[in-house]
Amino acid sequence: MSDKTIFQRIIDRELPARFVYEDEEIVAFHDAFPQAPVHVLIVPRKPIPSVDDLEDDDVSLVGRMILLAKSLAEELGLTQGYRLVFNCKRQGGQTVDHLHLHLLGGRHMHWPPG
C-alpha cells in the first residue's frame, strides 16, 4: 500500500484526474466531489502537507498558485466572481494532506462558510 497522498498519486499519473493546467511547479484538476459548478484544485508538485508547513521559500510558489487561480477563473468563465479556499488541518476541514487551493465558482457563495 502506497503512503503517497491521493494528490501525489494524481500528480504521478497513478490515478486519473481531469487536468486543466500543469507546469513544472503546479498542477490543477477538477475536484472529484465538486461543491460548486466549477470546483478546481490547484496543487503544487512539491509535497507540502498544509499551509501550516509553508516556509519563507514557498512565498513565490503560493503567489503563483493564487495568480493561476485568477487566470483559470477567467478561462472557466467565472466573470461574476469566485471563492479561493485553503483548508488547513482537520479542524480547518482539510482531508488530503498535500497543500491545495480550492477554486470554486458558478454559484452564489454564502458567508459564514460553516
- Give catalytic residue positions: 100
Establish if 17 lies at the interface with ligand DGP (CB under 6 A): yes
Distance CA 48, CA 55 (A): 10
The least CB distance from residue 96 to ligand DGP, in Å, is: 4
**Contact set for ligand DGP, span 71-90 (CB under 6 A):** 87
Q: Are 65 and 42 in contact (CB under 8 A)?
A: yes
Which residues in this chain contact ligand DGP in the complex, by CB under 6 A? Answer: 6, 15, 17, 29, 31-33, 41, 87, 93-96
